[in-house]
Amino acid sequence: MKFLHGLAVGLGAAGASLLAVLGFGLFVPTAAAPPPLARIAAAIPAQAPAESGFGTIKGRVVYGGATAPRPKVLAPAGSNIRDAPICAAQPVEEQKLFVDPATKGISFAFAYLPKPLGQNPAAEQAILNRPAEIDQQGCKFVPHNIAILSGQPVVFKSSDPVPHNVRYFGTNNAQNIALPPNGKLEVASLQPERRPMPLACDIHPWMNGHIMVFDHPFYAVSGADGTFTIEGVPAGNQSIVVWQEAVGYVTVGGLRGKAVTVKAGEVTDMGDLIVDPTRIRQGLP
């Protein structure tokens, strides 16, 4: 019997069946069948998936006074200023605070992540493929403020039939560009800046604006009604800065920004960010 038992074990299940057919009623233990895949999966402890994907941050920069202030008039229409037929065709107004009378939204505020956690290469490449443009129209910079990605081509142009210059000056960038009437010049790349970089035309000293240069694609400039939207933001805990030139930092935290949680596939709405009129810098209405 010991011999048959050993023989059956050596032959495996097929050998056991053969011995049974030959009349040897011998029980031979066999290995248990493996559990179904469902039982294996159930036996593995469940783990929370890591946060991934992209979400959106939105908000609105709003003037907190009872009524929207009118821009300060620096020179009335028809004034005897340089290139008056072009520059004084309309009143020359202060350009540091743009408030929509209907919504009290503040335009041209920068909203951005100061130190984003994560990347979005597709969003970055889409921006790099699209040149930015800063025009000079009626002796004003159009747009007044602009945000760009480092490496993105920037076209400085003039739609005016008078000479202009473009001077920008920051920590990592500085240049003075002469533009003839209806001229154009492309700058291949600007380096990132931690703060908005002033933009000026020295020929017409009331002309001003800002350029903010980023090393990531997570930024926006508020529109006419004060709204801003930053899409494609990596999900997780981020921080956001909102800056407006007549006020400075609208959000708490200064350069570090305000904490915000972004969820994949969702919109994080910061609501209305109210600008206290008492914080408006002197020299503005």
The residues, ordered by sequence, that sit 6+ positions from 280 with a Cβ below 8 Å of its Cβ are 97, 246, 247
Q: d(Cα 129, Cα 133) in Å, to the nearest integer?
A: 13
> Could you tell me if 184 and 229 lie in one domain?
yes
> Could you tell me if 178 and 243 lie in one domain?
yes
Does residue 284 lie within any of the structural domains? Answer: no
Q: According to the model, what pLDDT value does residue 23 have?
A: 40
> Could you tell me if 17 and 87 lie in one domain?
no
> Could you tell me if 132 and 32 lie in one domain?
no
Does residue 153 lie within any of the structural domains? Answer: yes
- Domain holding 20, by residue range, is 2-43
> Could you tell me if 93 and 161 lie in one domain?
yes
Q: Is the peptide bond preceding residue 143 cis, with omega within 30 degrees of 0?
A: yes
> Could you tell me if 87 and 7 lie in one domain?
no
> Could you tell me if 19 and 97 lie in one domain?
no
Output the tens digit of pLDDT for each of the chain's 285 residues: 443 344 343 444 444 443 333 343 433 344 444 444 344 334 333 333 335 799 999 999 999 999 999 989 999 999 999 999 999 999 999 999 999 999 999 999 999 999 999 999 999 999 999 999 999 999 999 999 999 999 999 999 999 999 999 999 999 999 999 999 999 999 988 999 999 999 999 999 999 999 999 999 999 999 999 999 999 999 999 999 999 999 999 999 999 999 999 999 999 999 999 999 999 975 554
**3-state SS string for the chain:** CHHHHHHHHHHHHHHHHHHHHCCCCCCCCCCCCCCCHHHHHHHCCCCCCCCCCEEEEEEEEEECCCCCCCCCEEECCCCCCCCHHHHCCCCEECCCCEECCCCCEEECCEEECCCCCCCCHHHHHHHHCCCEEEEECCCCEECCEEEEECCCCEEEECCCCCCEEEEEECCCCEEEEEECCCCEEEECCCCCCCCCEEEECCCCCCCEEEEEEECCCCEEECCCCCEEEEEEEECEEEEEEEEECCCEECCCCHHHCEEEEECCCCEEEEEEEEECHHHCCCCCC
> Could you tell me if 36 and 70 lie in one domain?
no
